[in-house]
Amino acid sequence: MRNIGINVSKNISFGTEEYISCLAKTGFNCIFTCGNDDDFVSFVRKKCLEYNLIYETLHAPFDGINRLWDKEKGKELIDILCHSVDLAADNGIGIVITHLSSKENCPPVTDAGLLNFDRLVNYAAKKNIKIAVENQRKLGNIATILEQYGKETNVGFCWDVGHEKCFARGREYMPLFGDRCIATHIHDNNMIYNCDEHLLPFDGQIDFRRTAELLKEHNYTGSLMLEIDLPGERTDKYMNFTLQQFVQKAYAAVNRLRIISEY
């Protein structure tokens, strides 16, 4: 069976260490975190070793990500993303996930931006880190990057199921990039454009049987990684749950997807 995981935050109302401990006891195999907080990443790494969890991916910062396509501002952004690579390499994390755009009116693909991104790819390759580009609203930048860096490189695709259903206006990404998928972000929403709710699977309107079909069709064998708005982090969702109730509900949801995607 494939691994199943979930995001970890230092702002979760239950407390980070208690949350990680409960994840391991409930049956989760792996986790990821967001951002370049050196101390927090180091702390989570130690807890993963303690509780026998895989620290699978690090989501790089995405504020100001549109600067990537600007010649000068992009250099500063790539420095931030390269620090994510350093953190990953220093803490046994194999994949750094990055956005390529933000919002509706993001810049077009530029030669300067491609040169900026190439610096990140080369830096990551030297440290044996893979870069996974995540779908947002735009198709062209992902298509360009994945065409420029083939399967033999350290660049792949992160399929964000929730983003697809609230940002892509019906487009499906796995038929396009399924052979390049090296990571997933699994979450639900009510399929309202620009309403990115980050609910647990089966709490919204996404057809996860279709999700399972696409995983099987494209022979994806990696982990199923939840990316949920955790209680106390950015939302009041699920605040009426105890730690054990929330983790058990999350596990049941992603395990249900695992089952229907494997049989």
pLDDT value for 232: 80
Residue 48: closest CA among 63, 35, 33: 33
**Are the beta carbons of 33 and 11 closer than 8 angstroms?**
no
Q: Which domain holds residue 46?
A: 4-262
Q: What are phi and psi of 187, to 5 degrees?
A: -160, 165
Find the CATH number of the domain harbouring 96.
3.20.20.150
Q: How wide is the angle at C-alpha 154 spanned by C-alphas 132 and 257, nearest 5°? A: 40
pLDDT of residue 235: 72
**The tokens of 192 are what?**
């309202």
Phi and psi at 5, nearest 5°, equal -145, 180
Q: In what order do the strands lie in the sheet with 30-34?
A: 181-185, 155-160, 130-134, 95-98, 54-59, 30-34, 4-7, 224-226
pLDDT of residue 163: 98
Q: Give the integer Cα–Cα distance in Å for 176 and 95.
A: 21
Give the pLDDT confidence score for residue 245 in this predicted structure: 97
CB 227 within 8 A of CB 187: yes
Q: At 117, list the tokens.
A: 């991104």
pTM: 0.97
Q: Looking at the 3D structure of the chain, how many domains does it have?
A: 1
Residue pLDDT tens, the chain, 263 long: 899 999 999 999 899 999 999 999 999 999 999 999 999 999 999 999 999 999 999 999 999 999 999 999 999 999 999 999 999 999 999 999 999 999 989 999 999 999 999 999 999 999 999 999 999 999 999 999 999 999 999 999 999 999 999 999 999 999 999 999 999 999 999 999 999 999 999 999 999 999 999 999 999 999 999 999 999 877 778 989 999 999 999 999 999 999 999 98
Is 84:58 a contact under the CB 8 Å cutoff? Answer: yes
Structure tokens at 216: 């099987």
Place of tokens 């929730």: 162
- Pick the closest to residue 56 from 94, 29, 7 (CA basis): 94
Give the pLDDT score at 44: 98
On whether the CB atoms of residues 98 and 134 are closer than 8 A, the answer is: yes
